Structure 1
Amino acid sequence: MSQKKMTFSQKFQKAKSSGSFSAALMLAPAVFFLCLCSIYPFIWIFRYVACDYNGFKSTFTGWKNFERMLNDKVFWNSVMHTFEYAFYKLIFIIPLALLMAVLLNQKLRGSSVFRGIYFMPTIISTSIAGMIFGFIFATKNGILNSMLQNMHMIDSPIKWLNSPSVVMVAVTILAIWGGFGNYMLYFITGMTGISEDVYESAKIDGATGVQTFFRITLPMLAPVLKVVLMLAITGAFKDYEAIMVLTNGGPGNRSMVMFLYIYNIIFGSAGSTSQPQIGYGALLSVVAAVIVGIVTGIYLFVSKKLDDVV
């Protein structure tokens, strides 16, 4: 028994002297909150996927939630809307963020001020941003419609938030405004790691600005671009707060995205008197997590294959 105690004491002193004990002690709070706020809730979700649970009483329902999910047209439409929203957001936000990063990385007067201005939307509350754009996209007395009419680009106000044909455009504009500044800073940080000697050599060889961008800047930004794309993909699939404030999924569920629908199922939509459907919402949350995981896995697989080819 004493030998075991001595062995443990020796191991403890060795870990303490090597610094691993201090590292474990500093990591302990992060690990604790990770388990409490991420791992435990994820395990808790599986507890109710086959139950009818309203927050107070849980009733086992077997496969009923699964059958309801398979026949839930609104949910599967929201999945399709999420893919559509993510596609529109990505094809605009990444090129725009990269373009602004290239422009603001130049040694120009006032570039730091513009960096702060473009980054500011990322620290504004999404609820506040949704309210602001609600005024901008308003049909009557809306700022955007007034500008377009004054420029003689439209004859009558556009129903940005009430027309199924254009509401996704309004939602995408809000997403781009709120997110491109963050990705822009990632690109600027990556560009600062590129040696100036490389650009000087390109100038000596007579390379134009476009050639320098496609043959030097873009290839050397590839690691950063991969990370930014992954963050943008996962972020686009999880967006719902600003959409909830701006359109609440309307009109006619045209802007209803996956996680907004799940939120409404669990907590209820505005003006709804129905009870929370936590069991069904838990199942949809698991399905949504699987969808996001599959999309992310496909992206990582494709990017790895492209790296192997290059």
Structure 2
Amino acid sequence: MSAETEALLAGLDEDQREVAQTLRGPVSVLAGAGTGKTRTITHRIAHGVMTGAYRPDRVLAVTFTAKAASELRSRLRLLGAGGVSARTFHSAALSQLGYFWPQVVGGLAPQVLPGKSRTLAQAADAMRLRFDTDTLRDVASEIEWRKLSSLGVEEYAERVDERPLPNGITPEQLLELMAGYEAMKDERRQIDFEDVLIIMTGMLEVEPRVALQVREQFRFFTVDEYQDVSPLQHNLLRAWVGDRTELCVVGDASQTIYSFAGADSSFLLRFGSEFPSAREFRLEQNYRSTPGVVRAANTLMTGRPGALTLAATREDPKGGSTPLVQGF
């Protein structure tokens, strides 16, 4: 190992270092809170770039918020891997859609709506339905859940009785409004943010030249916060990856925060079934919290699917101890 590589990996603990040195996929990293997962995956990517295992322009790191993507880019830049693309699912898909739409369909891609509520209100007016702002906002959230769950309106209709309905709307009105919203968008050549993922997934699945170009551009994938992936995002990711296995996913099933929007932690938990050759790592050294907090967290998580057993590296406040290895 070169001195430069050794210097890059020197600040990692043993478990983090093992992940960072495993440069070929598929790789699953179960990482508890405060265990340095972002530090680990950025060092893994930077290590791959430094050693020539990855060309930086062939790497796509994906996360769920613009803030998190910006943080990934900043860290990668500081580690000498500034040429790596770090984006949200929506940002990456929107960029690809804008590029491929003129080639596949012709003309400019449809306008992306900044939000759903205005169009929903107009669709409701056209159907002579009246709903307040809160109801329309809740309908917009339900449309988002439906699409991220990869359900069409007809499929959703079969499950509508299982869903908590927005106040002041019947199942029949909800389905009518959903259909009216989609029809109005189509008439105006508009799409919403979930449509971006749906359309791009479809292009990759049915247009071989699109799939070939995207898979030639990006050969190595890393997904942070994988416990928050939705069925639609998972479909897009698999379309990006194709039949290859150069995929590293990182997450903690106990930290799923987007279940209301279709997130499904089972994709993280069954990664090994989806990719039988996958290597699984666990990061359980907590550098953030005191022993009492860590014990409480372990107690709460005991018995849950994918639960990790965290170990505190800090002492109680009176001890004044700080970790030698940073966990952030």
By the TM > 0.5 criterion, same fold? no
Q: Report the structure number with the largest CA radius of gyration.
A: 1
Q: TM-score, normalised by structure 2?
A: 0.23
By percentage of residues, which structure has more strand? 2
Q: TM-score, normalised by structure 1?
A: 0.24
